[in-house]
Amino acid sequence: MAWGSYYRGDGVARPIALPPPPPWREFPRRPLGLAFRPPPGLPEAVNAALTLRRPLLLTGPPGSGKSTVIESVARELKLGPVLRWHITSRSTLTEALYRYDVLGRIHEQQLTQARDARRASETNRTGGVQNTAADDIDDIAPFLRLGPLGTALVPAPQPRALLIDEIDKSDLDLPGDLLDVLERGEYEIAELARYSSPVVAVRLWDSQQTHPIQAGRLRCTEFPFIVMTSNDERDFPPAFLRRCLRFAMPEPTVELLRDIVGAHLGMHVPQNAAVEELLSRFLARLHAGESLAIDQLLNAVFILTGDDAPQGAQRDDLLNILLHELTHA
C-alpha cells in the first residue's frame, strides 16, 4: 500500500491496516532513556551533580533532549521510576511537596455526621445502645498525598530521580521558594504538625505505597537526583543558581544527529542521499536560528526514507509540515 492511501478525503468508507508506529510512539511507551545519546560534557555535569548532591539545571531550546537526560541517568543507575513535576505559572512549592484534599475531608465528615445521626435516631427508637467509637475517628490520611518533590525526599537507601520540567515558566517567586527545601532536604506538612495522631502514613506520589510521617516533618536520607529544565525564557536569581549546577545543551552535529536518529529507530541509519539531505537541512536551519526539535527530525526521517516514502511534490509538502518552525503558527 502506497504511503498516504489510508485517508483519501473521498467520503468512501473502507477498512484500513495502519503500518507499525515509530518505535518512540509505541504504547505502552518504552523508556526514552534507551535511545538517549548524551552530548559531550553532559556526563561530567551529571556526575558532578550526583557527587555534590546538587540539582542540575539544563538549558537549551525546546526539543534538545533536556527532559530525556534524567530517564537515561535513572535507567543506567537504577534509581527507579522518574518523578515528574511539570511547571506552569500557577505551580506552587506546597503542591510539589504534598496535596491535601480539604474539601473531600469536610465532605466525609458531613457524611459521617449524617450517618451517626441516623444511627442515633434508630437506636433511640429501638432502645438499644449506640456505639459510635469507630465513627468518631477522623482519619486525615486518605486526604493527603505527597507530591513529586515530597516523594523524592522520602528517606530511602538510594536517591530518587526527579524532573522539574520547564522551571522558567514558573511564577517569579517559585525558584526562591525552593531554596530552603533544596538546601535542607526536609519540609513540614502543616496539617499533620497539629494533628492529634503523632504518626500518619501518607501515600506517595507515584504509587499506593505509604510512608509514616512523624509530627508532620519529613527529612530525606539521600538527596534526590534533580534535573531542572529551562528553555532560556527568563533569568534566575543568583541565590537560586548558586545551589545548582548548570549545563547548556550544545547545538548538535551531523554525526550526533545520525546517532540519535539511529538510536530511536533501533537500527543503523544509512548514509544515503535522502537521510543526509534531511540531516543537513535540519542542521542548517538550526544554525540559521530557527526553532526546531529533534522529534521533528525523527518524524521526517521515519516517513520520508521508508520503502514507500512519498516523492515529488507530495514529499515537499510533507517536509514543510514535518519541519515546520516552532515559533510560527
Count CB-CB contacts under 10 A for residue 75: 17
pLDDT score of 201? 96
pLDDT score of 130? 53
Burial class (CB in 10 A: 0-12, 13-18, 19+), 97: buried
Q: What is the CB-side half-sphere exposure of residue 297 using CA atoms within 13 A?
A: 31
pLDDT score of 80? 94
Cell numbers for 103: 474539601
Nearest to 165 by CA among 153, 146, 187, 148: 148
Q: For residues 85 and 227, give the distance between their C-alpha atoms in angstroms, rounded to a whole number.
A: 10
Residue pLDDT tens, the chain, 329 long = 567 778 889 999 989 888 889 888 888 887 766 778 899 999 999 999 999 999 999 998 887 889 999 999 999 999 999 999 999 999 999 999 999 999 998 888 888 888 878 888 777 777 655 554 444 457 899 999 999 999 999 999 999 999 999 999 999 999 999 999 999 999 999 999 999 999 999 999 999 999 999 999 999 999 999 999 999 888 999 999 999 999 999 988 888 888 888 888 776 666 678 888 899 999 999 989 898 988 899 999 999 887 788 888 999 999 999 999 988 76
Report H helices in the chain.
Answer: 42-52, 69-77, 93-97, 102-126, 148-152, 174-184, 190-193, 238-242, 254-265, 273-287, 294-304, 312-322
DSSP class of 269: -
Burial class (CB in 10 A: 0-12, 13-18, 19+), 276: middle
User: Cα 70–74–77 angle (5° rounding)?
Assistant: 135
Residue whose C-alpha cell reads 521533528 in the numeric block? 296
pLDDT score of 267? 62
Cell numbers for 191: 496539617
- Asked whether 257 and 280 are in contact (CB, 8 A), the reply is no
pLDDT score of 268? 63
Domain boundary assignment for the chain: 39-95+146-248, 252-322
- CATH number of the 39-95+146-248 domain: 3.40.50.300
Cell numbers for 155: 528517606
pLDDT score of 113? 83
